[in-house]
Amino acid sequence: MTRDRDSTFVGGGNVHANGIRQHYLRYGGAGRPVILIPGITSPAITWGFVGERFGRSFDTYLLDVRGRGLSQSGEGLDYCLDAMAIDVTAFAAALHLDDYALVGHSMGARILLRAIARHNARPSAVVLVDPPVSGPGRRPYPAALPWYVDSIRLSAAGCDGEAMRPFCPTWTDAQRALRAEWLHTCYTPAIVRAFEDFQKDDIHADFPALSCPALLIAAGRGDVILPEEEREIRALQPRLQVVRVEGAGHMIPWDDEEGFYRAFGAFLGRPL
């Protein structure tokens, strides 16, 4: 298979870190390292289009979170937030990355917060993309678990992208086809644990620990972070920069890809 000469894709790889196999896709191969952590049911390859763009400016690593994609999965693994957070710290150390930035979407953003607050991750910058702010005593995360479990079941049985349309109606045919192809790699018990922990883990306690430059990118027409919740987060971490992508829902790069890139500005040192 010939590689697109305009592609920034370098290749995929595996590293043994935090006692498990962690799989990643690499884009760019030069510049400031950026580790990108996708959300609850997003294997790294489904973020490949974002990796391609980041790869123009940065040495980009798209990580398969444990229990997803080609990283280690199955029975016997701990799928709690802290285990996933330690994975990120161990991943950066195993690849000897310096002056690296962390970018996380949804669950991935919660993972990065916890990695910094409790597990000695030391990025030089962090970007939190629409993290769920549910937790003990707070309103539930505005999504239903069957949305995830039912779509995984379809993919595991074998289906095409059209079967994903009810779950992802605004996505392109190519994006739905890729999700149908890879969603079966999401280990259902890992997804259930992560979803349940959205309501159990208090990430608000982690915000004050952010000592590096930090950017919060929120969906303008999503309901994951309400205005009053944004105000609370700003009070917890006054140095946090906040940008809203007004035309996008929670899956920001799928809803408004260019708006997603613009939201970064030059925060990472170079515009996207």
pLDDT tens sequence across 67-78: 999 999 999 999
Whether the CB-CB separation of 179 and 24 falls below 8 Å is answered with: no
Q: Which range marks the domain in which residue 83 is found?
A: 9-142+201-264
pLDDT at 129 over 70: yes
Give CA–CA dist 75/72, Å, rounded: 10
Contacts 24+ apart (CB under 8 A), 132-137: 132/106, 132/107, 132/198, 132/224, 133/203, 133/204, 133/224, 133/225, 133/229, 133/233, 134/198, 134/199, 135/198, 135/199, 135/200, 135/201, 135/202, 135/203, 135/204, 136/199, 136/200, 136/202
- pLDDT, residue 121, reads 98
Whether the CB-CB separation of 143 and 207 falls below 8 Å is answered with: no
One-letter identity of residue 188? T
Residue 97 in any domain: the answer is yes
- pLDDT, residue 222, reads 83
Q: Are strands 101-105 and 33-37 parallel, antiparallel or unpaired?
A: parallel
Residue 169 in any domain: the answer is no
Give CA–CA dist 265/50, Å, rounded: 15
Residue 173 in any domain: the answer is no
Domain count, the chain: 1
Q: Is 159 exposed, middle or buried (0-12, 13-18, 19+ CB in 10 A)?
A: middle
- Helix and strand numbers, DSSP H then E, in the chain: 9, 8
pLDDT tens sequence across 209-243: 999 999 999 999 989 999 999 999 999 999 999 99
Residue 195 in any domain: the answer is no
Confidence of residue 3 (pLDDT cuts 50, 70, 90): low
Which residue's structure tokens are 């309400």? 226
- pLDDT, residue 1, reads 42
Average pLDDT over residues 258-264: 98
Residue 167 in any domain: the answer is no
Residue 155 in any domain: the answer is no
Token pair for 255? 């809803």
Average pLDDT over residues 19-33: 98
Residue 122 in any domain: the answer is yes
What would the DSSP string read from start to end of 61-115?
A: EEE--TTSTTS--STT---SHHHHHHHHHHHHHHTT--S-EEEEETHHHHHHHHH
CA 171 to chain centre: 18
CATH of the domain at 38: 3.40.50.1820
